[in-house]
Amino acid sequence: MPKRDVAMARKPLPALRAALAASLLALLPLAAGAQEPAKPAAAPPPEKAAPSLGRDALNPAKPAVKPYLDDATAPDTVAILPAPPPSHSAAETADRTMFNATRERRGSVRWELATADVAEGSAAVLDNMACVLGTRLDPARVPALIGLLDRARLDVVRATRGPKVHYRRLRPFVGNEQPICVQRSQALADSYSYPSGHASQGWTYALILASLVPQKATAILARGRAYGESRVICGVHWLSDVEAGRTNGSAVYAALQGNAAFRADLDRARAELAKAMSGDAPPQDPKTCAREDAAAREPAL
């Protein structure tokens, strides 16, 4: 027997199979006219998922600004908020009933509004408030207001992070295939549900804007409530998460009122906003705003 054949015979069966496979692969280019192997298809770009409250939706690389509150003045929201509903409680049953019922809203005008409300951050929330403010504000024209909201947002982040990590509540879409209004991702699933960061931020911003434009306070606060409820329609938060988010936002706003820097920035933003909303401020499309108002007024169930 030739030496090469003897060596092949002495190889264990798995090694022999591997050697034969390698030999066949080496012959494939010759049999196919030495064509280049096909390149793997490029993966499709990921869809936009719900953005994190901890980064700017328009400029993720933007350096963080300094929050208004420090360790001594920031509210302890773990102590303020109640615990989320325990398993098999009536409150948890209500949460699950609401989640299941709102899956039927997929494709509705209210679902579209919830999808639009996924965007967060100071500029995005101002855009969502355009109809109730009566004009779409260009962030470049209201730098004092944007700076105020950006700083307050960091205080909201802090107030939200504590309870999320403390309770580690899972989001309602985890463990099922029910539709939600954003792309499912492991990062979203791993981010805890209680309280809702969007609802916390939206309610804090609504309270700030209501104090800046008191003549529109009712409409602003109603839109802030609907912004939080969009998270339930979207399927990414339980109803009790959103309710806790409003309490969370109220606690942050109350603490901010005691901060001199916040009050000074609030005065500057008030004067700036009054100027931006007068004169040549472009009005919103009445049909678009009527559609949004009708959707926001729809009951959750």
Rounded CA separation 108/113 (Å)? 9
d(CA 203, CA 242): 10
Assign 283 to helix, strand or coil. strand
> Of 37, 36, 26, which is closest to residue 18 (Cα–Cα)?
26
Largest distance between two CA atoms of the chain:
100
- Which among 212, 213, 84, 67 is positioned nearest to 153, based on CA atoms? 67
CA distance 200 to 19: 62
Report whether 163 contacts 77 (CB < 8 A).
yes
CA distance 110 to 7: 73
Q: Which residue numbers are catalytic?
A: 198, 231, 237, 241
Residue 152 and residue 147: Cα distance in Å, rounded?
9
- Both structure tokens of 23: 């030999």
Q: Is the torsion defined by CA of 17, 19, 22, 24 positive or negative? A: negative
Q: Judge contact between 241 and 231, C-beta under 8 A.
A: yes
The tokens 């109220």 sit on which residue?
A: 250
